[in-house]
Structure 1
Amino acid sequence: MLKLHSFAKFSLLVALSTSLIWQYPAFAWNKSGHMVSGAIAYTELKQNHQQVIEKIATILREHPEYSKFEQQWNSLNQSNVSPENKNLYLFMWAAKWPDEARNSQVFNYPTWHYINFPYQPGNSSNSIPREIPGEENILYAFQKNLDIVKSNASNSEKAVAICWLFHLVGDVHQPLHTTKLITNQYKEPEGDRGGTRFYIRVKPNSQTISLHKFWDDLILGSENFQTIRNTATRIRASYQRSQLPELRETQFNNWAKLESFTIAKQKAYLNGRLSGSTDNNDGKLLPPNYAATAKPIAERRMSLVGYRLADLFNKLFGER
């Protein structure tokens, strides 16, 4: 069992997650989006640091729920996926696992997936996001799991922590997992809860969805192995390291505060000009060019996830 908290803490979090599941963001990127990030990281490491892949895979094979990976892998084998791709799929699985663990009484930590920096249009204090001391948010979770990987913990514990690192680096790059909109329509303290209460429609005849879900689904909507690999290859080719000056920033907190929060304000909420509805049956229509503008932003963020994961794991497991 992962010794991150006492059993009482586990029980409390599970109880809270049941009552709050509708209040807080369900996912940051969907599962296939997280799998794309794992594939990009794998390809980057395979090209330059194959030994890091082997070290991570060795630890992940001691994951408490590794049997679930094997079940999914065996299902893939029926689709003629080559055995040499097993570690690639292991990286994909690791990146999505914390979302698959949401029904677990042991491994589910719903507040770890986000931080709600308040954004109030017209308020000059928005330029410096405010943290809540002691809050078990994504910033807390990243440091906690990083410490576990660096510690003398068992490989079983480290495997779980590695999955969280995969996932949290992905989560923090989804702009709406770093903010909550505060307006007269979306009041304090909850605001719009990361866009989950901000209802929109992409086209006049489209189904109403939350703005959060719109951003979650921008990368991909399929968990098909080949589709994910192809998407990862395309994104990595479209956004090469030399084209990403953001990579000079290596601090996780700043990926949240300086990057995603700013994108949420400027591109997701259009500096407060985007209209949303509080009626989950009648969303406001997005501006005509909104989706076309958002898609490349999301793909750029996903490329950063992949490169930053590769860099993080190379720092942790590369040859000294």
Structure 2
Amino acid sequence: MLKLHSFAKFSLLTALSTILVWQYPAFAWNKPGHMVSGAIAYRELSQNHQEVIEKMVAILKEHPEYSKFEQQWNSLKQSNISAENKNLYLFMWAAKWPDEARNNQAFNHPTWHYINFPYQPGSSSNSIPREIPGEENIIFAFQKNLDIIQSNATNNEKAVAICWLFHLVGDVHQPLHTTKLITNEYKEPEGDRGGTRFYIRVNPDGQTISLHKFWDDLILGSENFQTVRNTATKIRASYQRSKLPELRETQFNNWAKLESFNIAKQKAYLNGKLSGSSDKNDGKPLPPNYAATAKPIAERRMSLAGYRLADVLTKLFGR
């Protein structure tokens, strides 16, 4: 029996967005970003493990909200998207579905999308963070859904768990979904909540946004099928498997602890030197080269998410 151990843009009304920010971190990657990771995984599997795709599609067709997928697919067909792309789009949909289900109490699990390892600049406790036993965070959620898929659960239940597996593998590769900044301005126990209270401006005269949202939106801003597909193709070409030594690490909890957490410290918060504001109306301008540096980091993380998702699915559903 397999045992694995323990990345939606804010498009809601302003009032609801504000409530969500204060309750829990923003979406990890936006919806198009999650769709990209699903597309990368699909292309990987279609080349070497078509049987995995067939098994998963059969289960996903029993998803309790599969009719919503069909509605979205039917609207795509009106744009002359060929039928052979239906399974590809199903993978895209599966990856973003947990964000689309946030308004459904039966499926919404807000704390599953992240884990808040504390980062306190200058502290000696920032090396390898510790998990909190019993906390229903992203590491807990990954194992829980993995267990459901490997159990005697119904295909209805397994389909929901598969979507969560897609989504969580994406989420854990978004650096700011693994940490909270602790400073005199952002005090324990909440800190800056994964950068959702750390306000910046991309340009000095730009709009104030959270650092978290900045990282969420680095991959893509459109759910257009062709745009998502093309972005996934470009990222796979730029970050090939053979050039990603990180893929030797197969433990989900280490993707959070050893990779994303360290990237958050070093690249997102610039080892504690990044200037931000707790005033949501007046963010601090990012350094001039910050965005150009962050973009390839996000793309590399997205490529890893797609490849690793394909690997996890192959272990679960391969021959």
Which TM-score bucket, shorter chain as reference? over 0.9
8 Å Cα contact 2:21-2:196 kept in structure 1: no
CA pair 284-308 structure 1, distance change in 2 beyond 3 A: same
Give the Cα separation in 2 of the matches to 1:43 and 1:133: 36
Q: Which residue of 2 aligns with 1:282?
A: 282
Q: Which residue of 1 aligns with 2:165?
A: 165
SS of residue matched to 1:200 = strand
The Cα of 1:47 is off from its aligned counterpart by 0.6
Amino acid in the other structure paired with 1:251 = Q
SS of residue matched to 1:124 = coil
The Cα of 1:128 is off from its aligned counterpart by 1.6
SS of residue matched to 1:209 = strand
Give the Cα separation in 2 of the matches to 1:21 and 1:306: 27
8 Å Cα contact 1:35-1:96 kept in structure 2: yes
Give the Cα separation in 1 of the matches to 2:22 and 2:262: 25
Give the Cα separation in 2 of the matches to 1:28 and 1:291: 18
Give the Cα separation in 1 of the matches to 2:139 and 2:165: 11
1:222-261 alignment, distance < 5 Å: 222-261=222-261
Moved over 3 A (4+): 18-21
Give the Cα separation in 1 of the matches to 2:21 and 2:280: 16
Give the Cα separation in 1 of the matches to 2:124 and 2:24: 26
Q: Which residue of 2 aligns with 1:23?
A: 23
Q: Which residue of 2 aligns with 1:201?
A: 201
The Cα of 1:204 is off from its aligned counterpart by 1.3
8 Å Cα contact 1:39-1:91 kept in structure 2: yes
Q: Which residue of 2 aligns with 1:150?
A: 150
Matched, 1:90 2:101: no
The Cα of 1:93 is off from its aligned counterpart by 0.1
CA offsets 1:185-224 (integer angstroms, 9 cap, x no match) = 1011100000000000000121000000000000000000
Identical positions, percent = 87
Matched, 1:305 2:308: no
8 Å Cα contact 2:29-2:215 kept in structure 1: yes
Amino acid in the other structure paired with 2:195 = G
1:38-57 alignment, distance < 5 Å: 38-57=38-57
Give the Cα separation in 2 of the matches to 1:316 and 1:87: 18
8 Å Cα contact 1:101-1:107 kept in structure 2: yes
Q: Which residue of 1 aligns with 2:15?
A: none
The Cα of 1:131 is off from its aligned counterpart by 1.4
SS of residue matched to 1:277 = coil
Amino acid in the other structure paired with 1:200 = I
8 Å Cα contact 1:118-1:130 kept in structure 2: no
CA pair 20-281 structure 1, distance change in 2 beyond 3 A: closer
Amino acid in the other structure paired with 1:316 = L
SS of residue matched to 2:200 = strand
Give the Cα separation in 2 of the matches to 1:51 and 1:20: 40
Deviates more, 1:129-138 or 1:293-302: 129-138
The Cα of 1:130 is off from its aligned counterpart by 2.0
Deviates more, 1:164-173 or 1:128-137: 128-137
8 Å Cα contact 1:200-1:282 kept in structure 2: yes
Give the Cα separation in 2 of the matches to 1:231 and 1:113: 23
Give the Cα separation in 2 of the matches to 1:316 and 1:37: 18
The Cα of 1:23 is off from its aligned counterpart by 3.0
Q: Which residue of 1 aligns with 2:294?
A: 294
SS of residue matched to 1:22 = helix
Q: Which residue of 2 aligns with 1:8?
A: none
Q: Figure out how many residues of one structure are paired with residues of the other and give that number.
A: 302
SS of residue matched to 1:190 = coil
Where structure 1 has 5 or more consecutive residues not aligned to the other structure, the ranges are 1-17
Q: Which residue of 1 aligns with 2:32?
A: 32
The Cα of 1:164 is off from its aligned counterpart by 0.2
Amino acid in the other structure paired with 1:297 = I
CA offsets 1:39-89 (integer angstroms, 9 cap, x no match) = 000000001101100100100000000000000000000000000000000
Amino acid in the other structure paired with 1:102 = R
1:125-144 alignment, distance < 5 Å: 125-144=125-144
Q: Which residue of 1 aligns with 2:221?
A: 221
8 Å Cα contact 1:219-1:299 kept in structure 2: yes
Give the Cα separation in 1 of the matches to 2:277 and 2:56: 44
RMSD (CA atoms): 1.0
CA offsets 1:233-264 (integer angstroms, 9 cap, x no match) = 00000000011000000000000000000000
1:66-105 alignment, distance < 5 Å: 66-105=66-105
The Cα of 1:21 is off from its aligned counterpart by 5.3
